[in-house]
Amino acid sequence: MSGSTADTTSRLSRQVSSFVGYSTIVITLLVLFFFLILPVSVIIGKAFLTPSGELTLDYFRLLMENPLQMGSLWNSLWIGVATTILTTIVSLPLALINARFDYRGKALMSGLLLVPIVMPPFVGALGIQKIFAQYGSLNLLLMEWNIISEPIRWLTEGNHFWVVVILETLHLYPIMYLNIMAALSNIDPSMEEMASTLGVKKWRQFKDITWPLARPGYFAGAIIVFIWAFTDLGVPLLIGFNDTIPVQIFNMVTDVNENPIGFALVFIVVVITVVIFLGSKLFISPNKYAMLTRGHVRNPVKPIQSWLVTLGVYAFMLTVVLLALFPHASVLLISFSGDWFMTVLPSSLTLSHYEAVFQQEITVWGIRNSLYLSALAVLVDLALGVLIAYVIVRKLVPFTSALDSLVMIPLALPGIVLAFGYVVTYTGTFLDPMENPIPLLVIAYAIRRLPFMVRSAVAGLQQMSVSLEEASMTFGASRFYTLRKITVPLVTANLIAGALLCFAYAMLDVSDSLILAMKDVFYPITKVIYVLSLEPGTGMFVASALGMIAMVILSACIIGASVLLGKKMGEIFRG
């Protein structure tokens, strides 16, 4: 009798597991179909079809014949390439130093290196305009010191490209750094020790051993950096560099039916990002460089004996951090400045701009909308992300690896593409963003941050012993009860960390917010900052104050997530 009861219980448990697994896959597929695959498919269809339904390549021909659009495409590609190269130049030596050597204050310096990740370049662009204007602080200071006699035009059209690249680099290098650090930490130290024993020189060890083994991690970071820089809308828009693909797409949203070249443009962006993303998965596989161990052995670090070398390390790292924080320090100064005209620094300080943030209707709407929309998006990510992670880690169905890859797709599709697709697909329906963008904004925020939540939950579940769940179910508890009472409480820290990340990046979302929010009553924070920055008078100052408030919220969320996730933080930013 007891054997029969045990068999029945076991069979019921398997059925419940299958139900949870397959239900999760079905729900995930439906969500991704309607709000990822369908919008992209509609764009692809409209890129190749006339309004009457005939197949055509005319839109691509018109695109190729348009020097502005083709120039914008090349500019965006070169921004992605240049940003990736510069982040590599900055991040690789930083990662090698911190992975291989120990020095006084290493923990503090490592923490400072990650600070720029909480400083969105969209906000920092406001400060750049003030400091590097023709009669901005830098030129006035140089003329005051008699270094120059005439102001230098730092922000001319010819310099916009490098201004954007530098701002993107200073924001994105921590993502590259985290990935390279994680890759270096997973290298079996015995391989390098053996090479040293055999007399192999250090540069040769790096070339033949360290770099090939770290390369998958590097490319994971490089792909994210490239796609982010290639498709970023906020920085070029605020700098005034309109000859980029994201800005061109943004300008085409309102008249897409009259100017169908936008469909061809978005299609090309989709092809480029997906090909690069999938190519990295196929050709740069970690399995090609398998090690005898799984990388759990801690790499030995050597203390830096020379105080001169330690000083050099400090100088290099502090220079990187200070450069990365400079734009945002400028925004902070602008937000407190009372009178700042033709002077190096503000002639007076005031809190009136912060008071204006809470007095103006549009700024109050912006803060309220962003908090509300981001919170709803986090709830969606929590509900779906926990189920997906549970199915993946516990392998409840045979297709968990496919499910894992599927939920990472939003990392490969830029926000500018999805937002454009939502406008095209759902205009005229009950989800019409021109009438009420709230449902689509919540969905867009949630879809694009779902990989962060899944990765956070997966990291927690992998650290938790499955025997605890098995013991619970052995004593008759259902899988749902076990999940609610045992599993979720044990991975709460990871879920909170994932939720904080999702909330923070939803709060400072640029592409979806700028494109989908078309009425001022629905503007999120980033749309309000953009609108205010265009206003004469105190618009820039109030925008800076609002930007600082947004950065404080973002910083608190990401620092909290970093504390909870610890060294797992780098895994969140892997493709």
Asked if residue 376 and residue 305 are part of one domain, the reply reads no
Distance CA 256, CA 260 (A): 6
Please report whether residue 63 resides in a domain: no
The per-residue pLDDT for 535 is 85
The residue among 298, 326, 347 that closes a domain is: 347
Please report whether residue 65 resides in a domain: no
- CATH code at 455? 1.10.3720.10
Considering only the C-alpha atoms of the chain, give the largest distance between any 2 of them, rounded to a whole number of Å.
98
pTM of the model as a whole:
0.83
Q: Which is it for the CA torsion 229, 231, 236, 238, positive or negative?
A: negative
The residue among 347, 375, 393 that closes a domain is: 347
Q: Residue by residue, what is the 3-state secondary structure of 400-441?
A: HHHHHHHHCHHHHCCHHHHHHHHHHHHCCCCCCCCCCCHHHH
Please report whether residue 50 resides in a domain: no
The per-residue pLDDT for 550 is 85
Please report whether residue 41 resides in a domain: yes
Tell me the per-residue pLDDT of 494-518, one tens digit each, with 9 for 90 and over.
788 778 878 888 888 888 999 999 8
The residue among 347, 372, 403 that closes a domain is: 347
* Number of domains forming the structure of the chain: 2
Please report whether residue 39 resides in a domain: yes
Asked if residue 120 and residue 23 are part of one domain, the reply reads no
348 pairs with which residues across the strands?
Answer: 339
Residue ranges making up the domain that contains 469:
1-45+351-575
Asked if residue 340 and residue 267 are part of one domain, the reply reads yes
From the list 123, 113, 94, the residue with the least C-alpha distance to 525 is: 123
Asked whether 186 and 293 are in contact (CB, 8 A), the reply is no
The parts of the chain modelled with pLDDT lower than 70 are: 1-21, 188-193, 195-196, 198-200, 202, 205, 256-258, 281-301, 305, 465, 469-470, 473, 475-480, 561-575
Distance CA 153, CA 150 (A): 9
Distance CA 402, CA 390 (A): 14
Asked if residue 276 and residue 176 are part of one domain, the reply reads yes
Asked if residue 185 and residue 284 are part of one domain, the reply reads yes
Asked if residue 443 and residue 300 are part of one domain, the reply reads no
Q: Which stretches of 221-285 are assigned E, i.e. beta strand?
A: none
Distance CA 331, CA 264 (A): 37
Asked if residue 84 and residue 24 are part of one domain, the reply reads no
* Three-state DSSP class for residue 354: helix
Please report whether residue 55 resides in a domain: no
Asked if residue 447 and residue 318 are part of one domain, the reply reads no
Asked if residue 282 and residue 221 are part of one domain, the reply reads yes
Phi/psi of residue 338, each to 5°? -90, -45
Please report whether residue 34 resides in a domain: yes
Q: How many helices (H) and strands (E) does the chain have?
A: 29, 4
Residue 244, C-beta contacts closer than 8 angstroms, at least 6 positions apart: 72, 75, 76, 79, 164, 236
From the list 227, 79, 125, the residue with the least C-alpha distance to 530 is: 125
Asked if residue 278 and residue 426 are part of one domain, the reply reads no
Distance CA 344, CA 347 (A): 9
Asked if residue 129 and residue 37 are part of one domain, the reply reads no
From the list 442, 424, 486, 439, the residue with the least C-alpha distance to 460 is: 486
From the list 450, 402, 445, the residue with the least C-alpha distance to 281 is: 402
Asked if residue 483 and residue 549 are part of one domain, the reply reads yes
Distance CA 250, CA 513 (A): 11
49 pairs with which residues across the strands?
Answer: 55
From the list 112, 91, 85, the residue with the least C-alpha distance to 173 is: 91
Please report whether residue 59 resides in a domain: no
Distance CA 511, CA 441 (A): 10
